[in-house]
C-alpha cells in the first residue's frame, strides 16, 4: 500500500501500491525448523494473525497448504501482537527466529540490519517465485525483506449505545464534534470518551492513535525531503488537540502503560466509547462481546478541513528467517498465502485488503463494516509515515517519552516537539 510521505528519504521503501479497488487492492546456520528420517520437514511460523481471525480459520488455510505440499508440515506459533513482537526480537538477537515470521513494517529495518531475515528478492529468484502479482514489497537497498500479505485501515470505532445514551445523534466527523462526544460519554460516569495506549514498551500508539489525527487532516510529520518536520503547524495542532482531550479528562485511565490489546479490551467491554483501531480486530470484538453495538467511521478531521483524509493503515507482513535451514519450504508457504485464491480468502476472513493484485475480498452478509471501511479507504489515501523510516519503533518511543512529559505538565508543546525534532534528526 503506497504511503503518503512527501518525498521521504529512507533506505527502506515500499515498492508497488496496494489497489484502491476491490479487484486490485540471525545467524547463519541456525534453524528452528526440523526434519525427520522420512524426509518430512517441519517449519515454524510465528504470527499474531490467528488469534485475530475466527477460531480455526487460519489453521484451515495451513491445513490446505500441508495437503497441497506433502512432506512439509507447519507448526503455528500464535500469540497477541505484543508477545509475538517480543518473541521475534528475542529470536533475532539469539539467532533462533522461526522459519517464517509475521512482520510489522516498523520492524523490518532492525531485523534486516541484524541479518535476522532473508533477502526475499534473492530467495524468490532462486526458487522461481513470480512476484509480478504482489501489490507491494518492503525493500532495503533494492532487496525485499517483507511482503505485505493483507492490509488494514485504522478507522474510528464508536460504541453506538454509549453515543446514544450521551445524546450524540451522529458519529463525530470533526475534531470539535469528537471533543463534544468524548466529553458527553465521559459525563455518563460509566465509561471514558476515548482510549490512548502510550506504553513505552509497545509505542505504536504514537503511530496509530496520535499521529493518525495529523494524517486525517492532510498533515505530515516530514518535510519535502523526507526529513523530520515535527514543529510544523499541523503537528503542533495535533499534539495540542490530544493534550486538550487529556486535560479534559476524557481519555481512559492507565494510558502510560496501556498497549494496543488493552485498548481493544477496554472498548470491547464497554469501558470506553471510542477508539482508533485496526479492522483486523472486528472479529475479535464481535466474538468477545456479541452484544456490543458498534460502528466505524473516518477519523475526524480538523474543523474546516475539506481535503482528502489520510487513512492510517498497517500490514500483516511476512518474511523468512535468514538462519532457517528450510528457506525453500518456507518460501512455498509465502507463495501459497500470496496466491490469488488464498489471498482472497484470507483478506475476506480478516476484513482486510489483499496483497495480491488479482485477489478480491468478498462483501456480503456480516461484512457491512468491512464494506464501509473500504468506502472510507476509497475516499481518502493510505497514510503511515512511519513505514519506511529508519529505527521506526525507536522514533515512536522517543516521541512517546516526551509526549508523556507534556501530559504530565513538565514541558510545553513547543519544548516537547523541539526535543523530539532534535532526537529524530540524529537518526536520519
d(Cα 382, Cα 291) in Å, to the nearest integer? 31
pLDDT of residue 331: 98
Query: What DSSP string runs through 74-132?
Result: EEEEE--HHHHHHHHHHHHHHT---SEEEE-GGGHHHHHHHT-B--HHHHHHHHT---T
d(Cα 228, Cα 232) in Å, to the nearest integer? 10
pLDDT of residue 35: 55
pLDDT of residue 12: 39
pLDDT of residue 105: 87
Residue 389 has pLDDT above 50, yes or no: yes
pLDDT of residue 370: 85
Radius of gyration in angstroms for the set of CA atoms belonging to the chain, rounded to a whole number: 21
Strands 381-383 and 100-103, by their bridges, are unpaired
How many C-beta atoms lie closer than 10 Å to residue 224's C-beta?
12
Grid cell 512511519 is found at: 386
* Least trusted range by pLDDT, from 104-113, 299-308, 364-373, 390-399: 364-373
pLDDT category at 207 given cuts 50, 70, 90 is very high
- Residue 76 sits at the vertex; the CA angle it makes with 78 and 42, to the nearest 5 degrees, is 155
Q: Largest Cα–Cα distance of the chain, in whole Å?
A: 68
pLDDT digits (tens, 9 = 90+) for 117-144: 999 999 999 999 999 999 889 888 889 9
pLDDT of residue 333: 98
pLDDT of residue 360: 85
What 3-state class would DSSP assign to 261?
helix
Is the CB of residue 398 less than 8 Å from the CB of residue 420? yes
pLDDT of residue 391: 86
pLDDT of residue 328: 97
pLDDT digits (tens, 9 = 90+) for 142-177: 899 999 999 888 999 999 999 999 999 999 999 999
pLDDT digits (tens, 9 = 90+) for 260-273: 999 999 999 999 99
Residue 426 has pLDDT above 90, yes or no: yes
Of residues 223 and 389, more confidence is placed in 223
pLDDT of residue 387: 78
- Terminal C-alpha separation, the chain: 23
pLDDT category at 10 given cuts 50, 70, 90 is very low
CATH topology of domain 156-311+386-425: D-Maltodextrin-Binding Protein; domain 2 (3.40.190)
How many C-beta atoms lie closer than 10 Å to residue 109's C-beta?
22
Residue 233 has pLDDT above 60, yes or no: yes
pLDDT category at 109 given cuts 50, 70, 90 is confident
pLDDT digits (tens, 9 = 90+) for 50-98: 998 989 999 999 999 999 999 999 999 999 998 999 999 999 999 999 9
pLDDT of residue 24: 31
d(Cα 192, Cα 273) in Å, to the nearest integer? 6
389-401: average pLDDT: 92
pLDDT of residue 19: 39
| pLDDT mean across residues, the chain | 89
* Least trusted range by pLDDT, from 125-129, 243-247, 277-281: 277-281
Any idea where the domains of the chain sit in the sequence?
12-151+314-383, 156-311+386-425
Residue 309 has pLDDT above 50, yes or no: yes
* Least trusted range by pLDDT, from 164-178, 228-242, 356-370: 356-370
185-191: average pLDDT: 98
pLDDT of residue 374: 83
pLDDT of residue 313: 86
Percent of the chain whose pLDDT exceeds 90: 72
Residue 428 has pLDDT above 90, yes or no: no
d(Cα 26, Cα 111) in Å, to the nearest integer? 8
Grid cell 478541513 is found at: 305
Residue 33 has pLDDT above 60, yes or no: no
* Domain 12-151+314-383 in this protein, CATH class: alpha beta
Domains 12-151+314-383 and 156-311+386-425 share a fold: yes
pLDDT of residue 119: 97
pTM for the structure as a whole? 0.75
pLDDT of residue 38: 55
Residue 258 has pLDDT above 80, yes or no: yes
- Grid cell digits, residue 170: 451522529
Amino acid at each position: 500500500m503506497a504511503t503518503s510521505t512527501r518525498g521521504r528519504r529512507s533506505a527502506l521503501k515500499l515498492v508497488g501500491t496496494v489497489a484502491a479497488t476491490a479487484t486490485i487492492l540471525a545467524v547463519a546456520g541456525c534453524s528452528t525448523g526440523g526434519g525427520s528420517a522420512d524426509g518430512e520437514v517441519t517449519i515454524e511460523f510465528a504470527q499474531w494473525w490467528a488469534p485475530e481471525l475466527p477460531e480455526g480459520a487460519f489453521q484451515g488455510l495451513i491445513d490446505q497448504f500441508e495437503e497441497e505440499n506433502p512432506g512439509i508440515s507447519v507448526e503455528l506459533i500464535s500469540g497477541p501482537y505484543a508477545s509475538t513482537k517480543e518473541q521475534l526480537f528475542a529470536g533475532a538477537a539469539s539467532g533462533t527466529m522461526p522459519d517464517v515470521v509475521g512482520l510489522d513494517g516498523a520492524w523490518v529495518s532492525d531485523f534486516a540490519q541484524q541479518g535476522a531475515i532473508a533477502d526475499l528478492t534473492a530467495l524468490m529468484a532462486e526458487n522461481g517465485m513470480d512476484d509480478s502479482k504482489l501489490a507491494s514489497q518492503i525493500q532495503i537497498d533494492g532487496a525485499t525483506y517483507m511482503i505485505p500479505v493483507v492490509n488494514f485501515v485504522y478507522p474510528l470505532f464508536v460504541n453506538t449505545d454509549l453515543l446514544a445514551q450521551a445524546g450524540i445523534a451522529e458519529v463525530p466527523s470533526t475534531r470539535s464534534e469528537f471533543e463534544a462526544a468524548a466529553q458527553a460519554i465521559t459525563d455518563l460516569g460509566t465509561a471514558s470518551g476515548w482510549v490512548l495506549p502510550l506504553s513505552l514498551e509497545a509505542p505504536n500508539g504514537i503511530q496509530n492513535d496520535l499521529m493518525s489525527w495529523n494524517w486525517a487532516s492532510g498533515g505530515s510529520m516530514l518535510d519535502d525531503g523526507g526529513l523530520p518536520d515535527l514543529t510544523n503547524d499541523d503537528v503542533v495542532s495535533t499534539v495540542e488537540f490530544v493534550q486538550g482531550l487529556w486535560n479534559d479528562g476524557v481519555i481512559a485511565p492507565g494510558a502510560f502503560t496501556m498497549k494496543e490489546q488493552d485498548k481493544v479490551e477496554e472498548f470491547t467491554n464497554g469501558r470506553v466509547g471510542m477508539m482508533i483501531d485496526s479492522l483486523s480486530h472486528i472479529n475479535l470484538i464481535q466474538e468477545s462481546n456479541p452484544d456490543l453495538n458498534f460502528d466505524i467511521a473516518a477519523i475526524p478531521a480538523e474543523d474546516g478541513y475539506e481535503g482528502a483524509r489520510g487513512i492510517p493503515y498497517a500490514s500483516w507482513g511476512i518474511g523468512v528467517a535468514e538462519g532457517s535451514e528450510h528457506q525453500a519450504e518456507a518460501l512455498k508457504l509465502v507463495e501459497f498465502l500470496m496466491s490469488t485464491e488464498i489471498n482472497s480468502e484470507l483478506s475476506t476472513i480478516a476484513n482486510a485488503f489483499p496483497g495480491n493484485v488479482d485477489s478480491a475480498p468478498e462483501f456480503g452478509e456480516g461484512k457491512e463494516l468491512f464494506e464501509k471501511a473500504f468506502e472510507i479507504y476509497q475516499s481518502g489515501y493510505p497514510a503511515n509515515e512511519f513505514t519506511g523510516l529508519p529505527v521506526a519503533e525507536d522514533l515512536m518511543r522517543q516521541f512517546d517519552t516526551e509526549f508523556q512529559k507534556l501530559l504530565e505538565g513538565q514541558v510545553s508543546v513547543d519544548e516537547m516537539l523541539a526535543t523530539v525534532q532534535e532526537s529524530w534528526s540524529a537518526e536520519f
